[in-house]
Structure 1
């Protein structure tokens, strides 16, 4: 072999012919693995764990999240109860695992609701008459003046509390952000040459929207929605903490925090576990969504 040649073996690259023969081998991983950051890898693994816990919680824990035992109340973390027990003797790890599903459902469902309404309003504003555009955008500007959580609380005040109403309220609170982005993308794409050519050829407006305008304008909105799932999970937990979401004894992270705060002085583990779960979930989903955004812009770190 000649020096400088590159060998590939089982997906790895080996550099150096004479060095290979002499036992001096320099190998390197493929580019995709070399650029993989440990933080993103951990975030991906944690999100994968959450998906497994949401779909098949019985694979991870065998107990009942609602099973109470008075004699086991306020047990500190131990080999029998890894994360301890709460005021009713319920295993916190079991409740934490079973709480993944409602927490993720709240975040994903609220994102879908906000995305669908935002896309509809944004398309209507971007493609409609100037008066329609101006009216819708002034209403969107008014809604943007309120923080999402405050706007969700206002909506719940009129509709009433409950997990379903909380999800809808969080979704509606996120509509303005998606609507503005879709409207801006639509304004840019509707004047593109391929759209004008399709219009000249007599393509029906509805076909033009779903074949050209919507597919080319929704990509950045989908990435923004992926980043926002974590924030909506935190918002859902906040509403449950305030008593407007999932009610106790539901194994939902925000509800667990709401009850556990009363015993934080003598049983810190009751609130520590759900608080860490919410924090890690939001950080992991946001990190993955941010990386997706950077890759879409050609700025992957």
Structure 2
């Protein structure tokens, strides 16, 4: 504890663990959660309401972040665009983590033939960048927000599967697993009660960091025209439209870019803090 002495009477104690940057990250993520769940709490403006006479208005007291080429309020579109962006990060990460756990456990606990077949498949998928693999899936299955969610989730499966397999190989030889097996516990009970929780726990923390990566991938796909259909507000599609008017209306690109950067940085900072705390406890 570090102390700051105030003359005569008071002493203010400040904990050494207080981190302003991390606190700001948490506040920003809480604000994002509110915007995703109840956006009307933050703005009463319709993000789809167009007014041609208000097109290209710069940031002002009436439109804090300006208006776009159709006269729509940029702040309202940013706030309503939080939900699809967070859905992209959360749902795609859940898809990748769920399938990765199944494949990783099967490879780590199965016979050598199964392990080799799964890992060769994972190695082939890892040879493709996430964005390219997602584009291939979208090409076969079509466009749309939910198809994009699934494509980004499938593209993240190889990373999670490889990490789960590595953790499973460590946990399956742990003394408590051997003890449970020696006591005659059923194999399924040993896997679900001892192997699975201990193999997945560190991966869950790393998955938090992966949310930010998937948000960027989803925004890139929306930028290319494979995300939510216009005129739905979505940060990637806002960037795609704003680049055509960058010379005259810089705010159409600046604010969605800032929103994506702050979101990814905040989520990554929280994930890294959890990872550091878990490593400290394990030591």
TM range (shorter): over 0.9
Structure 2 residue corresponding to 1:59, chosen from 34, 37, 41: 41
Aligned residues of 1:248 and 1:256 also touching (Cα < 8 A)? no
Shift of 1:108: 0.2
Alignment match, 2:118 = 136
Shift of 1:25: 4.4
CA distance in 2, matches of 1:157, 1:36: 48
CA distance in 2, matches of 1:185, 1:235: 26
Pairwise mapping of residues 211-290 of structure 1 onto structure 2 (< 5 A)? 211-290=193-272
CA distance in 2, matches of 1:248, 1:258: 11
Alignment match, 2:135 = 153
Say if 2:162 is the partner of 1:183. Answer: no
What SS class does the counterpart of residue 27 from structure 1 fall into?
strand
Say if 2:177 is the partner of 1:203. Answer: no
Shift of 1:271: 1.2
Alignment match, 1:38 = 20
What SS class does the counterpart of residue 82 from structure 1 fall into?
coil
TM-score (norm 2): 0.95
Higher CA-based Rg: 1
* Equivalenced residues, count: 281
Shift of 1:24: 5.5
What SS class does the counterpart of residue 203 from structure 1 fall into?
coil
Structure 2 residue corresponding to 1:110, chosen from 75, 92, 97: 92
Say if 2:71 is the partner of 1:86. Answer: no
Structure 1 residue corresponding to 2:12, chosen from 15, 19, 27: 27
TM-score (norm 1): 0.89
Aligned residues of 1:148 and 1:170 also touching (Cα < 8 A)? yes
What SS class does the counterpart of residue 280 from structure 2 fall into?
coil
Give the 4+ runs in structure 1 shifted more than 4 A: 12-15
Please list every run of 5 or more consecutive structure 2 residues that lacks an aligned counterpart in the other structure. none
- RMSD (Å), alpha carbons: 1.9
Shift of 1:286: 0.7
Please list every run of 5 or more consecutive structure 1 residues that lacks an aligned counterpart in the other structure. 1-11
Higher relative contact order (CA 8 A, sep 6+): 2
